[in-house]
Amino acid sequence: GEDVEQSLFLSVREGDSSVINCTYTDSSSTYLYWYKQEPGAGLQLLTYIFSNMDMKQDQRLTVLLNKKDKHLSLRIADTQTGDSAIYFCAESISGNTGKLIFGQGTTLQVKP
Amino acid sequence: SAVISQKPSRDICQRGTSLTIQCQVDSQVTMMFWYRQQPGQSLTLIATANQGSEATYESGFVIDKFPISRPNLTFSTLTVSNMSPEDSSIYLCSVVPGGSNQPQHFGDGTRLSIL
């Protein structure tokens, strides 16, 4: 079945770059997403990439997609303490039903 | 993107009771979904809320436990029935605004605790 895997924890210093990695199994996924969840809050859509793209950049965020290895990464440049949150990777299931499969979430800790 | 409002934002309920959660969107949307996030866990899709017909439930979720309504293209409700402590979770509504090539957006969720 479909599965999305993420590392559970990442700690970086303020000002450094953060790279959060994700692997997925459904090779026919149309979209891959990154969501951010701050404590006590809902999910905020950070960015997403269509499966026919290799890279997408949006200000401090860079998404890289390696379809061959089914690997997705999110790079946050100049990480700030406000970036501390849980980051979820999600893949859309083929057939465009709208169903998303989420990874376990990566907790990003940013130290001053 | 659509603005999604969920009510209530949180509640504490007694075992055996039921609670209805509302999801209101500020524009008509084609797809609406309900997810559950158990404590410290990721999100799991409960069902797709279909306008004008019965919801489509995922494996492990049944209509008797999680009845869903979607009377129009901007509103849906999820009821958590006969609650037990295992139902303590965050319940989130999500929508796909516009066409099917749009990304999915989430509400702030309803934090439910069962005593």
Tens digits of residue pLDDT in B49-79: 988 888 999 999 999 999 999 999 999 999 9
What tokens does B87 get? 């139902």
Within 10 A of B75 (CB to CB), how many other CB atoms are there? 15
Higher pLDDT, A111 or A51: A111
In chain A, the residue whose alpha carbon lies closest to the alpha carbon of B2 is A45
The β-bridge partners of A63 are: A56, A74
Q: Which residues of A touch B48 (CB under 8 A)?
A: 97-99
Q: Which residues of B touch A105 (CB under 8 A)?
A: 42
Work out the mean pLDDT of chain A and round it to a whole number: 91
Q: Which of B6, B42, B108 sits opposite A102 (nearest CB)?
A: B42
A103 in contact with B, Cβ within 8 Å: yes
Identify the CA nearest to B6 among candidates B75, B80, B100.
B75
Contact flag B43-A45 (C-beta cutoff 8 Å): no
SS3 state at B29: strand
| Banded model confidence at residue A97, pLDDT cuts 50, 70, 90 | low
> Does the structure show a pLDDT above 80 at B7?
yes
Identify the CA nearest to A65 among candidates A49, A47, A76.
A49
pLDDT at A26: 78
Most B CBs within 10 Å: which of A8, A29, A36, A43, as the mutation test of the B interface?
Answer: A43
Work out the mean pLDDT of chain B and round it to a whole number: 93
Within 10 A of A53 (CB to CB), how many other CB atoms are there? 13
> Does the structure show a pLDDT above 70 at B16?
yes
Contact flag B43-A43 (C-beta cutoff 8 Å): yes
Those of residues 33-62 in B touching chain A at CB distance below 8 A are 33, 41-45, 48, 58
pLDDT at B40: 87
> Does the structure show a pLDDT above 60 at A58?
yes
- The end-to-end CA distance of chain A, in Å, is 41
- Total CB pairs under 8 A between chain A and B: 53
> Region A78-96: what's the mean pLDDT?
88
Contact flag A42-B31 (C-beta cutoff 8 Å): no
Q: Which residues of A touch B103 (CB under 8 A)?
A: 31, 33, 45, 48
Note whether B48 and B39 are within 8 A (CB).
no
B97 in contact with A, Cβ within 8 Å: no
Q: Which residues of A touch B94 (CB under 8 A)?
A: 43, 100
